[in-house]
Structure 1
Amino acid sequence: MSFFYFPHSCSCSLWSVAAISVNRYVAICHRIHYPRIYNRYTMMIIIPSMWTICFCIDLPNLLGWGAHGFDARIMLCTYDYMKSYSYTVFFVICGFLIPLVAVLFSYTKIFLYARGVKKAMEKVTKEDGNKEMRNGIKDADRKLLRSVMTIMVVFFTMWAPYSAVVFLDFQGAWPRALYVFTVVLAHLNSCINSILYAATNRLFRQGYRRVVQLTCCMICYQLKILHKTEDVVHNSHTDNPETVSQRVSKSDVMHSSSNKNVK
């Protein structure tokens, strides 16, 4: 199962990034059609379909075109890129290039759309003579450009080395350290996305801050309950000396009275 998991998970990771970028493209550039394309029912089709596509990308390995095996270079069970060079080309195209094209297309269209809106608003504000609004539009444009370019450059930078290595080293003669580095770099992309969103988007930073605050409050609340529970348990097992003496006195009185009654 692990032979199948690695290439499948890599493909799904990249296709998920591409799906998110297409989602943002539709939401921003075609917002009128967004509720019809992305709703509860269509998402029940889109998400399984994406995983099915990724399964089909790796399926040829199970049917004889390519193979699975243990790659000693990266110490992982994955597809054997040395078994069939034609399948390696197929995997790079379907697993990397197509998602990359989707990401580039989506974010480029988003940026061009934002530029068009910005120019239209600049024209209006220029006629109105509102300098502050024009400056605000330019700042928003720069922030959008920075965010879009950062996401695209990081995505390409972290996945391109691994794709280039498996695509070009068809004889398996390149150093093992290079393979390990490119695999680790590629998988770090999924970890660094959340940091990129926070670094380039104020709303994400506010959301992360809110999550951290709620988490800290929940931890403090749980610790407070735990402390109270420990106090109750401790008090239940530890008697007060005065209470003990009172219990002893009452016991002595009852014992003496019972002896008198017997006499």
Structure 2
Amino acid sequence: MNISDGSSIYPGGKVFGRFQFVQESPGVAIGSILVLTLASIIGNFGNILILVAVFTTLKTKSLEFIFVGKLAVSDSFVTLVVNPINILGKLEGEKIFHSVAEFCRGIACLCTISCVNSLGSIVLMSFSRYVYICHYNLYNKIFKKSTCFGMCFCLYMIGLMIILLNFVGIGDHSFNRKSLECIWDRLATYYYTVFFTVIFVWTPLLVTAIFYVTIFLKFRGSVKRIANATRHAQQKRPLYLAKTLFLIYTAFALCWIPYAILQVADHDDSFPLEIHVIITTFAHLHPSFNWLVLYHTNLLFRNAFNKLVHLDRCFFIFSKTNRQIRDDLVISTVVSHK
């Protein structure tokens, strides 16, 4: 959204030139650039690892892995494209995006679709675990490969609908002068900002939390009634996967809740630039570490990753068979005493 002389009409904030942000706020600038660079390297490696594991080693396992793979696809766009573009914006400033018409808006739109898909995938994972544990008789009716892929497709349609609202004057996507990145325009229309954060951040996070609380209460009540050890072993595995998915959800929530609060709270655009840069940088960390959660909490993914790239040589503490056995015994003991 530029005028003929090349100046921007994007609202709010200061227009930075090349390396100006680094010169004026070296601590925040260099820190955010280093964090985004490291997050991109780690995230690209991990998300590729997840995708290879899901579509090869684990392709015959639980249908939840379809959603895990879907999450890795969305996360890969952030680590492979969005983070490097954000680094470019902090180094070069806004004017570099003026030379390529609509480039920044396009990246911002795709970023929104990716974020909606990431959160949506987490909701679907929690919903599938909820149905499996609390309403098992409905699980095979609801969750088939065709319906799972259909749910994933619907997430893309929801993200696209959010983008299409911009064409009827509701919201916008542009270069944000406070966070120095291409992202949805929180200043375009305030009600769009509130709608976006409440409907597509707070509501899914709350619904997902309810699913996991219900799972915990259901499983806790079931375990107390179980006297047969074999039956107990069968009950443990669904909760084991639910624990992994819950940790992924928790990491996402911790990264995005501060961002959601900031977008609504700074309605008059009075907060310092440094706060926006730090919080948005923190929000974009979530796609980089899901694979570590999977590795450290899920034995299937741990074995798959070790088979592909021998991560056990790096995380040697998890390569010992007796440690794996001890982990399972600890989980079993804790659950059995609840």
User: Given the two structures, how large is their TM-score scaled by the length of structure 2?
Assistant: 0.53
* 1:70-219 map, 5 Å: 70-121=175-226, 124=227, 150-213=247-310
On the 8 A contact 2:296/2:302 being kept in 1, the answer is yes
Counterpart CA distance in 2 for 1:10 and 1:111 is 27
Give, in angstroms, the shift of residue 140 of structure 1.
Answer: 8.8
Q: Deviations over 1:149-173 (max 9, x none)?
A: 6444423211111111111000111
Q: Which residue of 2 aligns with 1:254?
A: none
Counterpart contact for 2:126–2:246, Cα < 8 Å = no
RMSD over aligned CA atoms reads 3.1
Distance 2:268 2:157 in 1: 31
CA shift for structure 1 position 188? 1.3
Q: How big is each residue's C-alpha offset from its partner over 1:82-139, in whole Å with a ceiling of 9 and x where there is no partner?
A: 1211110000012211220232122212212211221111xx26xxxx8xx99x99x9
Question: Which has the higher mean CA deviation after the structures are superposed, 85-94 or 180-189?
Answer: 180-189
Residues 56, 192 of structure 1: alpha-carbon distance in 2 compared, 3 angstrom cutoff: same
SS at match of 2:271: coil
Pick from 32, 40, 57: which aligns with 2:162?
Answer: 57
> Given that residues 22 and 106 in structure 1 are in contact (C-alpha distance below 8 angstroms), is that contact kept between their aligned partners in structure 2?
yes
CA distance in 1, matches of 2:146, 2:246: 32
- The size of the alignment, in residue pairs, is 205
Structure-2 change in CA distance of 1:23 and 1:148 (3 Å): closer
1:13 aligns with 2:118: yes
- AA aligned to 1:67 is D
How far apart, CA to CA, are the structure 2 residues paired with 1:140 and 1:19?
19
2:132 pairs with 1:35: no
Deviates more, 1:142-151 or 1:2-11: 142-151
SS in structure 2 at match of 1:33: helix
Correspondence for 2:28: none
Quick check: 1:23 aligned with 2:98? no
Q: Which digits, 9 at most, give the CA deviation of each residue in 1:54-78, with x for residues without a partner?
A: 2223332221012222112222222
The AA in structure 1 aligned to 2:259 is Y
- Work out the CA distance in 1 between the residues paired with 2:238 and 2:157: 37
- In structure 2, the partner of 1:237 is none
Q: Does the 8 A contact of 1:12 with 1:50 survive in 2?
A: yes
Out of 46, 51, 58, the residue aligned to residue 151 of structure 2 is 46
Q: Distance in 2 between matches of 1:148 and 1:6?
A: 23
Partners of 2:238 and 2:142 in 1: how far apart?
27
What letter corresponds to residue 189 of structure 1 in structure 2? H
Is the radius of gyration larger for structure 1 or structure 2? 1
Contact preservation (8 Å) 1:111, 1:145: no
Letter in 1 for 2:126: S
Q: Distance in 2 between matches of 1:142 and 1:37?
A: 19
Contact 1:111 1:148 in 2 (8 A): no
| Structure 1 residue runs without a partner (length 5+) | 217-263
Amino acid at match of 1:209: N
Q: Quote the offset at 1:8 in angstroms.
A: 2.0
